[in-house]
Structure 1
Amino acid sequence: MRIKELADLVGTTPRAIRHYHHEGLLDVPDNSGVRNYTLDHAVRLVRIRHLTESGLSLATIRELVHDPDLSLEDEIRLAEDAIDEQIAELHRQKARLLELREQRVTDDVPLPYTVPERLASFYGQVSPRLNAEALPYFEKERQAMEVALRIPFASRLVDDWLRDITPERIDATVDIYHLFARLPHMDPEEARVEFDHHMTRLHSVFGPDWGIHQRDWRGVVRPVLMAPGVVTLLTSAYQHPNQKEFIRLFLEQAVELFENNVSRETRGVAS
């Protein structure tokens, strides 16, 4: 039979059958010319459809369909296990939603599901001190952080940076948020002067390493700073040229700091 006939017989589509071929689940007919599917193909396709509808992954099904000793009872047991895992995952998702709802009750702004504890505490200290003009930009950063925390090592880096957060560091950070809100009202030269002033203050308050204890600059800091899309993520969230320039200069100094620390690491290894 042809692929369309097989698809109609089993209740699927030719596209699905070709996908099963690609995934190694269903053998391609070995006859020359137009593919001619046999009863063996139909039997295996029915089995594949049964297992997929039971919730098993294609990777698991790939192993099962090539096991001639697998009984119907085994298939049912495995399908039940897959359904149990789906139920467990739904319970985990519901627990995360309930956690988020509780955060909404105590805090007027939602947090990412897996926000580090220190970052949540930091947000809780900063947000009440921001004026009405700065708060929308603060909220955009929090949304961007939900994405950024998906980057490998980002959560570790943020948690490390906040380990020794002090009232003086909170003050300097709050002033940066207020500066960011004022940038659209400044001309470029004035914005650059303000940026340099605040960066000098940050260096003074946070120290030469910006308060980052992490010594593995190459293995942890570099993947975060150099992650594809970081600049795009930040600059797309803020539209004013002064704000974009602020982000560019800030990351430029961060990269320079990173390169200096990598050089120190390299010299330390060499010695």
Structure 2
Amino acid sequence: MRVKEMADLAGTTPRAVRHYHRLGLLEIPPTVRGKRHYGVEHLARLLRIRWLAEGGLSLSQVAEMLSSDTRGADRSTVLQDLRAARGTIEAQRRSLEEQAVRIDELIARVESGSALSPAPTALTRFYDDLEDRVRKAGGDVAAVRTERQIKQVMAALGMIPDSAAAFVEELDDADMELCARQVCAFSRLPRLRAPEGLEQAHELAQNTYALCLRHKTAVVRALADLPDGALGRALWRLSHVMVVTGYPHPAQRAFAVHLLDLLMTDPDIAATIRRSAGKDPVL
């Protein structure tokens, strides 16, 4: 039979057959009058290659298994390869199930009219509201958008616990107005002279710290849900890099540093931060 006929019978393509030839998986048949003619033995071999490959084995594993047939290798080697392939398939199955769950969440968000974002819906609503208030106050929304992008990156990496939504959901209208004023003032820091900018940055940090204390239970709960160990330290290092990159001006950096210093003065908040970030956290 010709190569296309055999490929059709095996559910593959002539191109795949030629690839198997190059890999040494399938013997090249003799040429008769300039044409290759494949026999039943070639079809049987091709069917076995396809069966093994579709079972989850890589072509290098297929080659090893086919080779073990001819050299009389211990069946334990074959079993080891098959079990490894089974493990790969199981991991792929779990990954697909996780993807299905995420897709279901996205479908639910679209159906509810929410934005498509890896961040919790409450956090997305918070930044939408904050950006609207800043815009109405004549402020620069760039700082809000930078903060939103930082949170989206962290959410995409699974570094924002669901309990973080509880904090923003507790904020009332007065709190949100304070947040909007804070953002407007924070955006003006780069335009101030050094002494005045530093003083303003410390005042903004004090205001933010006071807001955190008013909602301390929710803040501590969210911090307590952050990962600890190596993952927790990686989260804080990533946060530090993104804050430095997103807010490079010295006065804005001074705000972040002073805010962390203030948070560390509260024993409960400090304990939860150290559990995740380590002994000497940076922001």
TM-score range, shorter-chain basis? 0.5 to 0.7
Aligned partner (choices 181, 185, 194) of residue 191 of structure 2: 185
**2:225 counterpart residue number:** 220
Secondary structure of 2:170's aligned partner: coil
Q: Where in structure 2 are there 5+ consecutive unaligned residues?
A: 1-19, 27-47, 59-76, 273-283
Contact residue 160 and residue 213 of structure 1 kept, 8 A: yes
Q: Distance in 2 between matches of 1:203 and 1:118?
A: 21
Q: Tell me, yes or no, if the aligned pair for 1:134 and 1:180 is still in contact at 8 Å.
A: no
1:120-177, Cα deviation, whole Å (9 max, x unpaired): 3322321211136521221111111012225666323422322421122112211121
Query: Which residue is 1:10 aligned to?
Result: 25
In the alignment, the residues of structure 2 paired with residue 135 and residue 69 of structure 1 have an alpha-carbon distance, to the nearest angstrom, of 56
Q: In the alignment, which residue of structure 2 is the partner of 1:269?
A: none
What CA distance in whole angstroms lies between the structure 2 residues aligned with 1:89 and 1:203? 38
How many matched pairs? Answer: 209
CA pair 171-259 structure 1, distance change in 2 beyond 3 A: same
Tell me what 1:51 maps to: 55
Once the two structures are superposed, the pairs formed by residues 98-247 of structure 1 within 5 Å of their partners are 112-113=117-118, 115-131=119-135, 133-150=139-156, 154-207=160-213, 210-213=215-218, 219-220=224-225, 223=228, 227-247=236-256
Given residue 126 of structure 2, which amino acid in structure 1 is its aligned partner? F
Contact 1:112 / 1:146 at 8 angstroms: preserved in 2?
Answer: yes
Is 1:66 the counterpart of 2:101 in the alignment?
no
Residues 176-207 of structure 1, C-alpha deviations (whole Å, 9 max, x = no match): 21122111101222122112222333344443
- Is the CA contact 2:123–2:168 (under 8 Å) kept in the aligned structure 1? yes
Q: Which amino acid aligns with 1:66?
A: L
Counterparts of 1:98 and 1:89 in 2: how far apart (Å)? 14
CA distance in 1, matches of 2:98, 2:269: 44
Q: Distance in 1 between matches of 2:210 and 2:257?
A: 21
Contact 2:190/2:252, CA 8 A, preserved across alignment: yes
Of 243, 248, 257 in structure 1, the residue corresponding to residue 257 of structure 2 is: 248
Describe the superposition over 1:197-218 as per-residue Cα deviations: whole angstroms up to 9, x where unpaired: 223333444436x534365688
Structure 1 partner of 2:33: none
| In 2: Cα distance, 1:6 partner to 1:258 partner | 69
After TM superposition, give the deviation of residue 95 of structure 1 in Å. 5.7
* Cα distance change of structure 1 residues 259 and 187 upon mapping to structure 2, 3 Å threshold: farther
| Contact 1:129–1:174 (8 Å) recurs in 2 | yes
CA gap 1:53/1:138 in 2 versus in 1, 3 angstroms: farther
Which amino acid in structure 2 is aligned with residue 134 of structure 1?
Answer: D
Query: Is contact 1:148–1:154 with CA below 8 Å preserved after alignment?
Result: yes
User: For residue 142 of structure 2, what is the amino acid of its counterpart?
Assistant: P
Residue 211 of structure 1 aligns to which amino acid in structure 2?
Answer: K
Bigger mean CA offset, 163-172 vs 217-226? 217-226
State the identity as a percent: 14
Q: Deviations over 1:87-125 (max 9, x none)?
A: 87776666666677779xx78xx6523x22322332232
C-alpha spacing 1:46/1:85, structure 2 compared with 1 (3 Å): same
Q: TM-score, normalised by structure 2?
A: 0.53
Letter of the structure 2 residue corresponding to residue 234 of structure 1 = V
When the two structures are superposed, what TM-score results if normalisation uses the length of structure 1?
0.55
1:125–1:10 Cα change, 3 Å: same
CA RMSD of aligned residues (A): 4.9
